[in-house]
Amino acid sequence: MGLTTSTSRIEGQQPPAKRNAVAPRRKCASPRFSLRVPRPLTTPASLRWPSVCVLLFCLPGAVQSQQVKRVDTVLPEAPTPRLLVGRDTLGQDQSQALGTISGTVVDQNGNFIVAARVKLTREGGAPLQEVVTDAEGHFTLAGVAAGPFQIMVTADSFAGRELPGILDPGEALAMPEIALSIAASTTDVQVRVTNYELAEEQVKVQELQRVLGVIPNFYVTYQQDALPLRPRQKFELAWKTSVDPVTFAASGAFAGVEQAQNAYHGYGQGAQGYAKRYGASYADAFVGIMVGGAILPSLFKQDPRYFYKGTGSVRSRILYALANAVICKGDNGHWQADYSGILGGLASGGISNLYYPASSRNGAWLTFENTFIGIGGSGIGNIFQEFVVRKLTPHASGKP
C-alpha cells in the first residue's frame, strides 16, 4: 500500500486501478515491431512491473527474428551439386577426343614429294604442329583436337597450298592426295634448277624400288613423262647400283656356279680360283653398269632407264618391251636408237679381255655374239617389267 500511495501521489493523485485488471498483451514476435510505453498518467502503478517484464521477455525474441531475416536475405542460393570426375576418367575422355590427320603430297605428275613441310593451324592462330613428308610423300599429324583446322603444305620449288577441314572427336582423318604445282619462275636458269631438283626427287623414289623388297629395280621409272637425268644423276644411280649388297651377292653366286662347272679353267680351283672368278664376275657387272648406265648415256645424252608403259593391249605392251631393247628415250624427250646400251655391251665385253685368262678371252666375233645375246636378254627382261615386276615391287610409284 505504501508503494501504491507514493506512486499515485507522484503521478498527479490518480486513483489506483483495480487489482484484477489485466493489461492488454502486445504482439512481440513480428520482425517489425514498435514498443509503445504506456503513458504514466494512464497506466496504473500495479501493472507497470508486469509490463516491463513482458517487454524484457519479448525484446530478445524480436531482435533474434530480425537478425534471422537479415541472414536469410544475405545468404546466396545453395550451389548446384557437381559430379566429380577422377583424373583417369578425365584423361581418358580427353585422349578419346583427340584425332589424327594424315595424307600424301605429290607433284603434278603423281610423284611423291619428299621433305615437304606440313603445318597445322587454327583460324587466326599460330602453327600448332609441323611435320615433313617421308620418302613416300606421307605425313601424319597426331594428337589433334577436334574442330575446324587448316593444313598449309609447302616445298622447295613448289607453290604452297592451304586446305581447310573439320576433325571430329577421335577421328582418323585421311585427306585426299595433295598435289603441288611447280612454282612459277621468271628465268630459264630457275626453270633448269627446278627441273634438276624434281628429277633428283624422282631418282630418290626409284632408289626405293626393290623387287620383293630386296633386288634393286633402280633403272625403271613408272612415269612416262619423267624428267631427264643430268650426268651427275646418271653416275649417282649407276654407283648406287654397283655397290648395292645384292650386286655383290649376285657376283658371288655366279662365281660359285662357274667354279662348279670349271668355267675359265685358267683360274684354277680352290679359294684362289674362286676369288679370281668372283673378281671377274663383279668387274663385268661394274663395267657394264658404269659404261652402259652412266658414261655413254652422258655422252650421247640418252636416258638409261626403262619407261614402264602399263597401258594398252597385251600385244602392244610386248612389242613396246622388245623395242626398248634397241631404242631409248633421249634427254630431249624423243625416242632414238639405244647407242648407249648397244655400245656399252660391246665395250664391257672388250674390257673383260683384260682380266680373263688368255685361254678364255673372247674374240671379236664372240664379243659381238654376246652383245646380241645381251640385247635379247634385255627384251625378255623388259617383258617381265611390264607384266610381273611391278606387282612384286612394294615401293613402285607413279601413274602409268
What cell numbers appear for 199 in the block? Answer: 628429277
Question: What gap in Å lies between CA 149 and CA 162, rounded to an integer?
Answer: 10
Specify the pTM. 0.51
CB 327 within 8 A of CB 357: no
Kindly report, as residue ranges, where domains of CATH 2.60.40.10 are found in the chain.
95-179
- Contacts of range 122-126, beta carbons closer than 8 Å, 24 or more positions apart: 122/147, 122/148, 122/149, 122/150, 123/148, 123/150
Question: What gap in Å lies between CA 154 and CA 62, rounded to an integer?
Answer: 81
What cell numbers appear for 187 in the block? Answer: 628465268
Question: What gap in Å lies between CA 221 and CA 203, rounded to an integer?
Answer: 9
Question: What gap in Å lies between CA 63 and CA 70, rounded to an integer?
Answer: 11
**DSSP category for residue 292:** I
CB 52 within 8 A of CB 40: no
Specify the fold of 95-179: Immunoglobulin-like (2.60.40)
CB 108 within 8 A of CB 182: yes
Question: What gap in Å lies between CA 181 and CA 25, rounded to an integer?
Answer: 102
> What pLDDT shows up at residue 67?
43
Question: Rounded to 5 degrees, what angle do the CA atoms 218, 219, 222 make?
Answer: 90
Question: What gap in Å lies between CA 247 and CA 241, rounded to an integer?
Answer: 7
Amino acid occupying residue 242: S
> What pLDDT shows up at residue 194?
60
CB 166 within 8 A of CB 145: no
Question: What gap in Å lies between CA 172 and CA 140, rounded to an integer?
Answer: 10
> What pLDDT shows up at residue 37?
44
pLDDT by residue, tens only, the chain of 400 residues: 343 333 334 344 444 444 444 444 444 444 443 444 444 444 444 445 445 444 444 444 444 444 434 434 444 454 444 443 444 444 555 556 799 999 999 988 888 899 999 999 987 666 789 999 998 899 999 999 888 999 999 998 888 899 999 999 989 999 999 999 887 654 444 445 566 677 778 778 888 889 998 999 889 988 877 888 889 989 999 999 999 999 999 999 999 999 999 888 888 899 999 999 999 999 989 998 999 999 999 999 999 999 999 899 999 999 999 999 999 999 888 999 999 988 988 888 788 878 888 777 766 766 777 788 888 888 999 999 999 998 898 867 654 4
CB 238 within 8 A of CB 287: no
What cell numbers appear for 74 in the block? Answer: 544475405
> What pLDDT shows up at residue 390?
87
Amino acid occupying residue 281: S
